[in-house]
């Protein structure tokens, strides 16, 4: 199994709206992809900035390709992200999960 981790930052005042947006855009897209084993959002506010992590689990590299495209290390963004995110990190991180 593979864990996929994305990080983004918003203004703290936008955090509630952005987490709602994540649960209407990216999280359903993760979960609808064959081979996805779950997706969650982590959130932490530090002063006037809120950090978001999406943590998703995948059964294989091919399952991630079905979601993200051929270069699975490239971050995937959605149209309204530009309203909220302070920057667009170009990549995500993958880890093998051992049980």
pLDDT band at residue 42, thresholds of 50, 70 and 90? very high
- Look up the domain containing 56 and give its range: 2-96
**Residue 99 confidence (pLDDT):** 80
Mean pLDDT across 57-67: 97
CATH number of the CATH domain containing 64 = 3.30.70.100
Residues 36, 58: contact at Cβ < 8 Å?
yes
Total domains in the chain come to 1
Give percent above pLDDT 70 in the chain: 100
State the Cα–Cα distance between residues 58 and 39, nearest whole angstrom: 9
**Mean pLDDT of all residues in the chain?**
97
The residue assigned the tokens 């936008």 is 14
CA atoms within 13 A on the CB side of 61: 4
Residue 63: pLDDT over 90: yes
Give percent above pLDDT 90 in the chain: 97
Mean pLDDT across 21-25: 95
**Residue 2 confidence (pLDDT):** 98
- Within 8 A by CB and 6+ apart from 47, the residues are 12
- DSSP state at residue 64: H
């Amino acid at each position: 199994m593979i864990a996929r981790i994305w990080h983004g930052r918003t203004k703290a005042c936008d955090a509630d709206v952005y987490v709602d947006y994540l649960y209407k855009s990216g999280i359903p897209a993760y979960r609808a992809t064959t081979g996805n084993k779950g997706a969650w959002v982590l959130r932490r506010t530090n002063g006037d900035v809120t950090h978001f992590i999406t943590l998703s689990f995948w059964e294989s590299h091919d399952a991630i390709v079905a979601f993200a495209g051929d270069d699975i290390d490239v971050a995937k963004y959605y149209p309204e992200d530009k309203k909220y995110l302070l920057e667009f990190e170009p990549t995500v991180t993958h880890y093998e999960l051992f049980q």
